[in-house]
Structure 1
Amino acid sequence: MTPARPAPPVHATLADAATARLHEAILVGELAGGAALRLTDLATSMGMSMMPVREAIRRLEALGLVEVIPHRGAWVRELSIEDAHDTHDMRMLLEVTAIERAAARFTDQDAERARAFLQRNIQALELGDQAAARQAHTDYHFAMYAAARSRWLLRALEPVWQNGERYRFAGTRSPGARAQIMREHEAILAACVAHDPAAAATALRGHIDNAHARVIEKMTPGDGDRPA
């Protein structure tokens, strides 16, 4: 039986809708690094006034995805190997801290939520719905990190994660990469369910390192065509 397509997200305001559309366009490279974000053009293309688009750009600036220079305009931040390495290092620092704390506090309810998002990710990938798969992937990770019971840790992690998502889309995917990623996800969750912070940290480090390696392979001149 073909799985049902995940329901599209419901946006409470026009600013929410504009943010979601611009966010997705940046993550998948439709709005590439260095692309100018012109309020009039964006508002026209999205069929709304400039006010919600301006608010969307402000929110994306707060996430570090957009650069705004007063009286000059706004641009999508450029991708670079140096920034990819820096993003990787900060992910390691924040996410490993979060997963260690989460594993020590993990409950049955935390496991249920994480598994549901992981299943939603698999379902979306099978349907070829990349936007839904990306959101479910984010929800899966943050469902586990939320078990750390630290509001400030999650707030610190949010912009680093979002910047990392841009690089994840820029990475390469070999035929076996999806299966490997799923095994990594399952290993992280299993360690949390077992209340094993050391194993959870080891599994997550491997997951982040592997994702980073795919990104650098793609971004390194002359290496993009090597088999993964």
Structure 2
Amino acid sequence: MRSSGSATQLVMPILSAGRHRTPKQGACFMEFASYLAGEKWSDHPACTHPVLAALARDVNDLASDATRSSFTRLIPRVVGLTSDDLHFTAAIAVHAASAGLPIASMDRQRALAVGMICASDSDGSAELRAIAAAAFATAPDAEKWARKHLGSSPPRMLSVRTAIAIVHTAAVGIALACVPDADERLGQLLSGAIDVAEQLTSPLAEPAVVEYRLAHS
């Protein structure tokens, strides 16, 4: 699919924020993904994991028009990029939280810290805990508050709904942060999450839209 990326972009409508009833009105990131997957026009297509799709919608809506247009090249990569593995859900959530934690406002830092602890503890992965630890090094007060807030409660199973809340908080935290490169960080957040998702689903690392359509027709 990447080899035909330039041809695909020729027929893509201009990416814009929000939902669109038809392609003639424009498209958000996930609406165009639904089109590429041969699904019904929707910003919640089945072809992409719901947490990754939620992040893509948030980044699409929060980025500036100029930056949003650069996301077009990423759209084919999310087609067929999904998994039922809890580690997939946790990894996307921790990736997003670690990106937002250093620069988000205090309230969002605390929410992200709680979310990252829950996600990494629920998954039990040493890799995710290391990512969380590196992020907490940039905001130790947020970690201290979160651990006190959580107390000695046993970790709960991370739900998709909770993971979506984490990635939303991270994206908004970056967009509203007092930094000069918020747009660039949003783009890096999305592309990085896609990289993580591809690594976790290596057979789908090169999602083929044509094969996906055949398999789901």
TM-score range, shorter chain: 0.3 to 0.5
- Under a length normalisation based on structure 1, what TM-score does the superposition of the two structures give? 0.31
- Asked which structure has the greater CA Rg, the reply is 1
